[in-house]
Structure 1
Amino acid sequence: MDLFLYLRLIWMFLLASALRSEMQIKPLIYDEQLLWVSNGAGEVNTYRIPLLTFTSRGSLLAFTEARKDSSGDIGAKFIAMKRSIDRGATWSPTSFIVDDGILVDGLNLGSVVVDEQTQSVMLIYSLCFHQYQCSTSSTMLVESLDDGLTWNAPRNLSVQLGVKSFAPGPGFGIQKRLSPAAGRLVVCGHGTIEGDGVFCILSDDHGRTWRNGGSLKSIPYNQPKQSQDFNPDECQPVEMQDGSIMINVRNQNNYHCHCRMVVRSLDGGETLPVEELRFDHTLVDPVVAAGALQKEEVLYFSNPANSQKRVNMTLRWSLTNGTTWENEAMQIWAGPSGYSSMTSLVSNSVEDKKYIYLIYEKGHKESIETISLAKIHLYGGR
């Protein structure tokens, strides 16, 4: 190797090191707002199950279940939404975009998925998921074609998917950017408590039609579970830099550990092979829905970081696609905290590259007291 090439390689290494140092992740909560408060007043008793997404036009949409009569999972609900056009600085009043009436076994959120090519925003949820005082479960889709301002009447996807109970997410679905199956919409969720497991549904025509994709079924399947049975549950898919889909999964019965399951699909969600399943002991978890997000070649994860209780909402990050996690972590809220979901705006703006947004259940005595949104500056604490 000649001296010039050697010096050039050394210079490139030093430059890369300097850039990594300059962009070292040191998160800071830039702003935090309570979007919903569960005070039992008016038409809503409790707000739960928060979702969050940016539209392709840059609006920020927040969704939650508005449980009409109690805090329980079973019961009549609205889907509540707020919209921000200034990166979360201000928000519209709450609107109810879906009303399930007086259903005893009402709607369950749900996953939101954005089609970047059509600019459509789709929200997928279930009806009669628990099959309590009803016989048939339905997978439903409601769509906005005008950036979340108005929503079409719900469509029942069960004609295409069948009537197996399927609870999407909760979190976001993805549109694959890379091969295999670039452009495909992938939404993953779980089945009923007995017939549980992770299941994905797929669309290759921008959400017009859907079909069943890969599954990772519980053991024993369709039978009552015991402690430490294998029981994958609520989940969040993320597309990785190699085009695979990583799904971070709730470990419902604490099989193997009080931590998260992770499974990968190598074929765009068609299969979830057991060979691609592992347990992430670093991601200690009290059995809850968690957030995952890929941004600028960094994988982020949010959950109440406690093996027993839903407390200590924490943000972690990985520079190695989730194979290892940085020793440093950021505590978002020390107290009671539950479900969480994250998003960020994908753009060429330097400002947009600095921020992620975390929506989560937050309280002082119980985690279900409020829905809070934190805007996090990834480099603000340096």
Structure 2
Amino acid sequence: MNQALLRILLLTVLRAFARNETINPAIADEQLLWVGGEIGEVHTYRIPLLTFTTQGSLLAFAEARKLSYKDIGAKFIALRRSTDRGATWSPTSFIVDDGSLEDGLNLGSVVVDEETGAVIVIYSLCFHRYHCKPSNTMMVQSLDDGFTWSAPRNLNPQLGLMSFVPGPGFGIQKRHPPAVGRLVVCGHGSIAGDGLFCILSDDHGNTWRYGAELKSIPYKQHKNNLDFEPDECQPVELDDGSIVINVRNNKNYHCRCRMVVRSLDGGESLPVEELVFDHTLEDPAVAAGALEKEGVLYFTNPASTNSRVNLTLRWSVNRGKSWVKDTLKIWAGPSGYSCMTSLKGNETVDHKYIYVIYEKGQKDSIESVSFVKINLYSNQ
């Protein structure tokens, strides 16, 4: 390692530790974005996603399940848009309507291309293959900051017929070598080919191919409790260029906690020697949120081994090797899937806040979708 790179890494670590002395997260604002049953054409809102655009707008997405709370069935992709960092929101619009498919669509990941400004949403159709075949990996995009959206495009001619549902969460665009500019979206497969998989694009989303994979054991077979089944996942890029993927441990293999696996080659592979089980991140087998901001790694999930309750924010200053003992309890009650984002800007407000969207309820975690603005430095 050359001296210049060593100095950069040392400064990064020192800055992270300095920040840790002052990190004291507190909820600055919270709003319900969607409540199930309020609108006649939607029974339940689930699977929330959140991202900033290159123009600074905040976009919130959810699966709008038309007829029931179930994973299968007809759905919309719902969108609300904020131009003031979440203070106010547009009415709900539906950017995708799968019609009346019995198997329906499943979200999904959103990825923003920092070079073109495109906002890309990737989702699955007929993922469960109960009532329709084949499974299709679909994509829509907005080139005008989330106002209008393209017609859905089927990626199967490029990716093949494998069952794949991204995320849920966000995809990344590589900022550091290797593969700067590459779009990386990770997700999981069904019994037809289960495990963790990433799809890659090196031309701004025009073409996609499969990259890294971490297959289940036993592969392509129904799983029992304690089998190895990496599932829903959230990738983040660290400042050393590695991609760390926080993974749902669906059958509680080895622990009731999160799997974490790392790609060192831009999402091309996931070596098994880079897989660890993070016992600090206890988990009831759920989709969780992860975010890297200014050298600090943040994580949200229902912090429980058995139930979807107690949505909690944790943070790490050493790339997830350990977690600061302090935590922020966002919601003690029923809570489920979550996703985080932050604005990469130069204003003080951009450094100070992160934003969380999550499933929240009083009796059940899927009653509503809530948006939370978190002040990272509330004691300053």
TM-score range, shorter chain: over 0.9
Amino acid at match of 2:339: S
Tell me, which stretches of 5 or more residues in structure 2 are unaligned?
A: 1-10
Distance of aligned partners of 1:85 and 1:197 in 2 relative to their CA distance in 1, 3 Å threshold: same
Instruction: Map residues 118-133 of structure 1 onto 2, 5 A cutoff.
Output: 118-133=116-131
Distance of aligned partners of 1:170 and 1:19 in 2 relative to their CA distance in 1, 3 Å threshold: closer
1-side partners of 2:185 and 2:281: how far apart?
23
Counterpart in 1 of 2:305? 307
Q: Post-superposition shift, 1:272?
A: 0.7
**Is 2:170 the counterpart of 1:172?**
yes
Amino acid at match of 1:127: L
Counterpart in 1 of 2:157? 159
Could you state the TM-score of these two structures normalised by the residue count of structure 2?
0.95
2-side partners of 1:17 and 1:106: how far apart?
46
8 A contact 1:194–1:225 mirrored in 2: no
Counterpart in 1 of 2:229? 231
2-side partners of 1:381 and 1:154: how far apart?
46
Q: Post-superposition shift, 1:22?
A: 8.8
Aligned length, in residue pairs: 368
Q: Post-superposition shift, 1:194?
A: 5.8
Counterpart in 1 of 2:280? 282
Identity %: 70
Instruction: Map residues 307-326 of structure 1 onto 2, 5 A cutoff.
Output: 307-326=305-324
Amino acid at match of 1:331: K
Counterpart in 2 of 1:48? 46
8 A contact 2:162–2:193 mirrored in 1: no
Counterpart in 2 of 1:203? 201
Moved over 4 A (4+): 16-19
Counterpart in 2 of 1:186? 184
2-side partners of 1:45 and 1:362: how far apart?
15
Distance of aligned partners of 1:341 and 1:18 in 2 relative to their CA distance in 1, 3 Å threshold: closer
Q: Tell me the secondary structure at the aligned position of residue 118 of structure 1.
A: coil
Counterpart in 2 of 1:5? none
Amino acid at match of 1:233: D
Query: Which of 106, 109, 122 in structure 2 is aligned with 1:108?
Result: 106
Q: Tell me the secondary structure at the aligned position of residue 351 of structure 1.
A: helix
8 A contact 2:224–2:251 mirrored in 1: yes
Amino acid at match of 1:190: H
Deviations 1:125-167 (A, max 9, x none): 0000000111200000000000000001011001000111101
Q: Post-superposition shift, 1:40?
A: 5.8
Q: Post-superposition shift, 1:381?
A: 4.2
**Is 2:369 the counterpart of 1:343?**
no
8 A contact 1:292–1:299 mirrored in 2: yes
Amino acid at match of 1:289: A
Amino acid at match of 2:296: V
2-side partners of 1:27 and 1:90: how far apart?
22
Deviations 1:294-314 (A, max 9, x none): 001000000000000000000
Distance of aligned partners of 1:19 and 1:164 in 2 relative to their CA distance in 1, 3 Å threshold: closer
Query: Which of 262, 266, 269 in structure 1 is aligned with 2:267?
Result: 269
Q: Tell me the secondary structure at the aligned position of residue 273 of structure 2.
A: helix
Instruction: Map residues 22-61 of structure 1 onto 2, 5 A cutoff.
Output: 24-39=22-37, 41-61=39-59
Deviations 1:290-335 (A, max 9, x none): 0000001000000000000000000000000000000001100000
Amino acid at match of 1:156: N
- Output the aligned Cα RMSD: 1.5
Could you state the TM-score of these two structures normalised by the residue count of structure 1?
0.94
Instruction: Map residues 134-149 of structure 1 onto 2, 5 A cutoff.
Output: 134-149=132-147
Tell me, which stretches of 5 or more residues in structure 1 are unaligned?
A: 1-12
Amino acid at match of 2:373: K
8 A contact 1:82–1:95 mirrored in 2: yes
8 A contact 2:293–2:342 mirrored in 1: yes
Query: Which of 330, 333, 347 in structure 2 is aligned with 1:332?
Result: 330
2-side partners of 1:167 and 1:342: how far apart?
19
Query: Which of 17, 41, 65 in structure 1 is aligned with 2:63?
Result: 65
Query: Which of 216, 221, 225 in structure 1 is aligned with 2:219?
Result: 221
